[in-house]
Structure 1
Amino acid sequence: MSKQHQYSTTVTWTGNKGTGTSRYDEYDRHHTFSVMGKVDIACSSDTPFRGDGSRHNPEDMLVYSLSSCHMLWYLHLCADAGVVVTDYEDNAKGTMVEVPGGGGHFAEVTLYPVVTVKDASMIDKANQLHDIAHQKCFIANSCNFPVKHQPKAVEKG
């Protein structure tokens, strides 16, 4: 039997400089991402879209969501398989393509997780578990573009 889970978020635009959207260049893209009971996140659009580069943007959060979901599944699978991970870092990269006339889409996201394992004999198993994590990732399974991974496991030195 399938289970359903509901998620609720609030996005509040905070970029009204006093004249609202009277002109494209007269308002900020600032907004706040909120989830009840959690810390708010100050957001904007990306700088090519008149945004504030010091704030998170939706494109950053999409790449982060894929990376985070993969990592959480991966750590779960490692724990179940007896692979002791002592460190995990992923420098994920996404490519978004703008189309003429406005709009666009992500063409792909690639994850580059570097995993440190306690025992060198587990490196092959550690690398293989990324494929299963990818198959189970809720976010990757929801995307209409390729999500790739190029993992590297190393022994704790």
Structure 2
Amino acid sequence: MLGEHVYAVRSSWTGNRGTGTSGYRDYDRLVRMSIAGKPDLEASADKPFRGDPARWNPEDLLVASLSECHLLSYLHACVTVGVVVVAYEDEASGTMVEDGRGGGSFREVVLRPLVTVADASMTDAAQAAHHQAHEWCFIANSVNFEVRVEPRVRVAGD
């Protein structure tokens, strides 16, 4: 399993209204993201940056990547300590701050997983597994801002 892994994505701008980028307001920020063998993802800029709010934007995708990476790492961590997870939901959010020069950066992302375990005896180990999941998450280890995890654990049937 050790080694280098390469991920290839094709991004195609689909927002040319006929005059290309002749002016800042003359084109749409529509993008098609493609990966061989997977459904295309229709994306855009965020609405404040003249994008289509109905489409995924880069900021959404970054927060989603962190949320999914933690989820998958967490499920593995639970298996290794004998915790049976029967449901997992996350209400993740990220805060990005503009720098006034046309750029900006994320300040933080907060993951708020709600995990349901099969038995009350698993609650403490389920809570502790979040630390291991955070250590294992490739995406969280790749960003230069804080990724906080505020987990909650409940027991099935309660």
Q: State the TM bucket, normalised to the shorter chain.
A: over 0.9
1:55 paired residue number: 55
TM-superposed CA distance for 1:77, in Å, is 1.1
Aligned residues: 157
RMSD, aligned CA: 1.0
TM-superposed CA distance for 1:154, in Å, is 0.1
Q: Does 1:70 align with 2:70?
A: yes
Deviations 1:70-107 (CA, angstroms, capped at 9, x unpaired): 10010011112110000000010000000112100000
2:101 paired residue number: 101
C-alpha distance in structure 2 between counterparts of 1:27 and 1:114, whole Å: 41
1:152 paired residue number: 152
Larger mean Cα displacement after TM superposition, 46-55 or 77-86:
77-86
C-alpha distance in structure 2 between counterparts of 1:2 and 1:56, whole Å: 32
Deviations 1:32-65 (CA, angstroms, capped at 9, x unpaired): 0110110000000000000000000000000000
Once the two structures are superposed, the pairs formed by residues 56-135 of structure 1 within 5 Å of their partners are 56-135=56-135
1:11 paired residue number: 11
C-alpha distance in structure 1 between counterparts of 2:33 and 2:127, whole Å: 35
C-alpha distance in structure 1 between counterparts of 2:130 and 2:35, whole Å: 30
Paired letter, 1:86: V
Q: Does 1:38 align with 2:43?
A: no
Paired letter, 1:108: E
Paired letter, 1:52: D
In the alignment, structure 1 segments of 5+ residues that lack a partner are none
**Runs of 4+ residues over 2 Å off in structure 1:** none
Aligned-partner SS, 1:147:
strand
TM-score, with structure 1 as normaliser: 0.98
C-alpha distance in structure 2 between counterparts of 1:10 and 1:59, whole Å: 18
Paired letter, 1:35: I
In the alignment, structure 2 segments of 5+ residues that lack a partner are none
Paired letter, 2:92: A
C-alpha distance in structure 2 between counterparts of 1:27 and 1:57, whole Å: 16
C-alpha distance in structure 2 between counterparts of 1:32 and 1:136, whole Å: 30
1:26 paired residue number: 26
TM-score, with structure 2 as normaliser: 0.97
Aligned-partner SS, 1:12:
strand
C-alpha distance in structure 2 between counterparts of 1:124 and 1:82, whole Å: 12
